[in-house]
Amino acid sequence: MSAITDERRPDDASVPDDATPPGGRQGRDALRQMGSPHRARNVKDVIARVVMWFCFFLAMIPLVWILWTVISKGAHLLGSMEWWTGNQRNINSDDAGGGARHAIEGTLQMVGMTALIAVPIGIFTAVYLVEYGRGKLARAISFTVDILSGVPSIVAALFIYAVWVTTFGLSRSGFAAALALVLLMIPVVVRSTEEMLKLVPNELREAAYALGVPKWVTVVKVVLRTAFSGIITGVLLGIARVMGETAPLLILAPYTKNFQRDLFNGNFPTLPMMINQDRGDFALATAAERMWAAALTLIILVLLLNIIGRVIAYFGSVKK
């Protein structure tokens, strides 16, 4: 370490003699004397590293523990074909096995619907806030998004229940749950898209304006295009985030063990609700094992989305 620090010194000395450094001659003498504090700095550096590594390991413990528990207790069910093709119809808590296809499909269908609604709203809001918004309205919207991102999922679910079921008299369904998830997903999409749009250098917008390109074309073809992979990554992370939400499902989308592809009528199968179902009979080894397997399946889905997000970010990012 000290060798590196020492190597910097000739740099100071290499200032040509006739050049007066900022602060005049006195300033340069002060620079010459700066060699000594590097030892103290190295000690601090080492301490900081040790503390950071320690905290990192502390944070890793629960993570590894969770993964280990879920994998060791649930992995073997995932090896069977039935798990990926079948459902839980006519399988009682004390029966072993069965499939999770109905819940996997249900979860994907529900978050798909959620994304379909939340992503355009979120992206348009972010575009408005970054590219157009000035003054009171923009501040009000930004504040609303802040509040929305702090709303607990169960409150979002109760709100949808109050509107959908109590006010409009419609029935609980997968779609109602998706609406609650929309409320949770919008702020995630808005904030991540906003960050990505802000990263687009202003020079690119000006370059487009200077070519006589109208503002909205600039926003669509230059700004959104430049930020595209970042926005997609944010969207996928947002989907992954709502995929495991359970409170809205408990309140709005009662579980069914059967295949159910209709989002608008009747009970709807999802992975979190399947976990919850088998947790009810946790004492039975057959149910417990299904519960862990469903949990592992959910983790894998979320992980896959994250990986896809990273891959898009990697390949879609601006190439040199």
Partner 1 sequence: MAKRIDVTDLNVYYGSFKAVEGVSMTVEPRSVTAFIGPSGCGKSTFLRTLNRMHEVIPGGRVEGKVMLDDQDLYAPSMDPVTVRRTIGMVFQRPNPFPTMSIYDNVAAGLRLNGVKNKKTLDGIVESSLKGANLWTEVKDRLNKPGAGLSGGQQQRLCIARAIAVQPQVLLMDEPCSALDPISTLAIEDLINELKSEFTIVIVTHNMQQAARVSDRTAFFNLKATGEPGRLIEIDDTTRIFNNPSEQSTEDYISGRFG
Q: How many CA atoms lie within 13 A of 308 on its CB side?
A: 14
Residue 93: CB atoms within 10 Å: 16
Residue closer to partner 1 by CB (options 41, 225) is 225
Distance, CA of 254 to chain centre = 26
Q: Tell me whether residue 40 or residue 211 sits nearer to partner 1 (CB atom).
A: 211
Residues that bind partner 1 (CB under 8 A): 134, 201, 203-214, 217-218, 221-222, 225-226, 228, 318-320
In the complex, least distance from residue 233 CB atom to partner 1, rounded to whole angstroms: 15
> Given the complex with partner 1, which of 81 and 210 has the nearer CB atom?
210
Minimal distance in Å, beta carbon 316 to partner 1? Answer: 9
Least Cβ distance, residue 310 to partner 1 (angstroms)? 19
Instruction: State the nearest-atom distance from the C-beta of 142 to partner 1, in Å.
Output: 16
Q: Nearer to partner 1 by C-beta: 213 or 250? A: 213
Q: How far is the CB of 229 from partner 1 (least distance, A)?
A: 9
Please, which residue, 194 or 245, has the CB nearer to partner 1?
194
Q: At its nearest, how many Å lie between partner 1 and the CB of residue 208?
A: 7
Nearer to partner 1, 227 or 247 (CB): 227
